[in-house]
Amino acid sequence: MLHYIWDYYNIPDILTNIERYKMNAEKQTQVKSPTMQLINHCQKQNELIFATRKRLFDLEHKQKTETILFSGLIAIVYIMAIALVVSHG
């Protein structure tokens, strides 16, 4: 009786296991581990936090300059009103 090598080594099962291993490897690269997902989520949160801090810093700077400008204009109006009162007695 003639036996083939794949009968002796069970080649189809070996190929099936190799294909199964490749599929598992592809799934591992597609699906990230929970640790990597957590790290990515934390990185996104950090980016949002720093972007928000930058916007708040810019708004605070803008508010400060506008407050100084507005206070200066009010002071000018008061000085002009006092000057008109003094000049017209």
Residue (of 15, 56, 87) closest to 6 by Cα position: 15
Under the banding of pLDDT at 50, 70 and 90, the label for residue 1 is very low
**pLDDT of the residue at 82:** 95
Structure tokens at 53: 């801090």
**pLDDT of the residue at 18:** 63
Tell whether the model's pLDDT for residue 78 goes beyond 50: yes
Range of the domain at 14: 1-31
Distances (CA, A) of 12 to 1, 23, 39, 89: 21, 16, 41, 112
59 and 86 together in one domain:
yes
Give me the number of domains the chain comprises: 2
76 and 40 together in one domain:
yes
Tens-place pLDDT, residues 26-71? 666 565 677 877 888 888 898 899 999 999 999 999 999 999 999 9
41 and 55 together in one domain:
yes
Structure tokens at 75: 């002071």
